[in-house]
Amino acid sequence: MTRLIVVSNRVNPPTGAGEESVGGLAMALAAALREYSGLWFGWSGQSTPTFTGQLSMQKIEGVTAATIDLEESDVEEYYNGYANKTLWPLFHYRTDIAAYDRAFNEGYQRANRRFAETLRPLIEPDDLIWIHDYHLIPLARELRRLGLKNRMGFFLHVPWPAYQVFVTLPGHRQLVESMFDYDLVGFQTEDYRQAFEEYVLSEAGGEKVGDDLFKAFGRSVRVGAFPIGIDAPDFARLIKTNRARRMRDLMTACTVFRHLIVGVDRLDYSKGLEERFTGFERFLAADPDMRREVLMLQIAPVSRESVEAYQEIRARLDAISGRINGEYADVDWAPFRYVNKNYRRDELAGIYGAARIGLVTPLRDGMNLVAKEFVASQNPEDPGVLILSRFAGAARQMKEALLVNPNSPDEIADAIRRGLAMDKPERIRRWSALFDNVQREDVTAWRDAFVDALKGVEERRTALAS
Ligand code: G6P
């Protein structure tokens, strides 16, 4: 029987208790793993002074999680370094803060080698191996070096940048060459797929030998766009839970006579939070009559705190949020709530359900599932309005949202005004189209499309050879 091996830097299988605290993607991958009786491999989140390679195996609710601790220097050079100080900013178009340090690249290659060496003994010949995200791009190369011939697929959750941006990475060729050790590479959108194609054709001297098959570096790889979605049936269940209802009632009660505007993001400079806060500030400044009519709630759990750029953006957001309330709050009322706490998915569903406007305005984002969860949480008879960045991968599918340029606080302010004024028939019309897409292109469709394509590579290989 074919097993599925999922590999990602972070491993978050359901914990058994309180599944609602686990991310939607994790739930979907866990469901696939149960179906294929596979295992999920990655970093434990812990570090040790020297690398031991010791595996820790846990079976929870039918999913086997296999994790390893990383060496402290790996955490510094691979995770904080190359993954989060080099690739993350670069893939989100922040070439100004991307750090290029040879030690980071060495740490990245070393950690990938260590992942490969520890994973190798767990693999059986027929296993499908599905590797996730920018932390692990060279993993297939390392596994091939150890002699594995299995079908291997890679899915990039973040954007693939435009050619001119990507080539600013020292060693860009080596990185792309390692992607040709996969059988299948998946991107979130057609734009990212095209940007990759442009690189392969114009920089790597590659060629396109079929609709989705590329040749370069003496090898070939199949490339496709596989937009990720949310677990729609599970979300439909979630919004009906007691916890979700309680949260919706609570938020409705504390916004009587006011409209709730909500944003939920990891505290990351790619999320456009400064511009969003400033957009809200300009909306308040321009519209004194509206000041008592709205409450903006931004939930932004802190993230990657040992990276300086994250400490800086946090300090700036503290300052802007303080300034907005300082300027516009009254003794009995404040326009802005800024919360750095993490909430469970069912509670978030309740918050979205109480909101009149969802603000999802990243400067760049691979997909953005908050946009989809917001839509899935709305009351069909009186739905809220989604304001969405045109630079989120989700904008490709969610054209009925109010699309904005997230770099422009003025456009954000205009969209808030327009969203608040939108009549019910228009809100229902837009929401129905969005909801239809969220239901159809959900995480199960994404996973099945990717896994089927990966299963199909063997047949294609045979066909090409004959
Ligand atoms: C993004 C990445 C994921 C990552 C997550 C949280 O969504 O695409 O791979 O796991 O951020 O970031 P962290 O660094 O805490 O894993």
Active site residue 157: yes
Q: Is 150 exposed, middle or buried (0-12, 13-18, 19+ CB in 10 A)?
A: middle
Q: Has this prediction a pTM greater than 0.90?
A: yes
Instruction: Please tell me if the CB atom of residue 158 comes closer than 6 angstroms to any atom of ligand 1.
Output: yes
Could you say which of 157, 234, 346, 414 is catalytic? 157
Q: What is the average per-residue pLDDT within 40-58? A: 96
> pLDDT digit string (tens) for 291-330?
999 999 999 999 999 999 999 999 999 999 999 999 999 9
User: What is the pLDDT, as a whole number, of residue 12?
Assistant: 73
> pLDDT digit string (tens) for 266-298?
999 999 999 999 999 999 999 999 999 999 999
Tell which phi-psi region holds residue 56, choosing left (phi > 0), alpha (psi between -120 and 50) or beta: beta
Separation of 13 CA from ligand 1 center, angstroms? 15
pLDDT-based confidence at 461, cuts 50/70/90? low
Three-state DSSP at 317 gives helix
Q: Which residues pair with 67 in a beta bridge?
A: 42, 56
Separation of 11 CA from ligand 1 center, angstroms? 11
Q: What is the CATH number of domain 4-229+444-458?
A: 3.40.50.2000
Instruction: Please tell me if the CB atom of residue 157 comes closer than 6 angstroms to any atom of ligand 1.
Output: yes
Enter the DSSP assignment of 161.
Answer: P
Active site residue 330: no
Separation of 293 CA from ligand 1 center, angstroms? 35
User: Which among 133, 154, 192 is the best mutation to test ligand 1's pocket, defined by most ligand atoms within 8 Å of the CB?
Assistant: 133
Instruction: Please tell me if the CB atom of residue 303 comes closer than 6 angstroms to any atom of ligand 1.
Output: yes
User: Distance between CA 368 and CA 388 in Å, rounded?
Assistant: 10
- At the top level of CATH, which class does the domain 232-440 belong to? alpha beta
User: Per DSSP, which regions of 314-356 are E strands?
Assistant: 336-339
Residue (of 272, 289, 424) closest to 359 by Cα position:
272
- Tokens 């993001």 locate to 265
For the chain, what is the radius of gyration of the CA atoms?
23
Ranges for all domains in the chain classified under CATH 3.40.50.2000: 4-229+444-458, 232-440
User: Distance between CA 266 and CA 342 in Å, rounded?
Assistant: 9
User: What is the pLDDT, as a whole number, of residue 34?
Assistant: 81
User: Distance between CA 451 and CA 399 in Å, rounded?
Assistant: 27
pLDDT-based confidence at 20, cuts 50/70/90? low
Separation of 303 CA from ligand 1 center, angstroms? 9
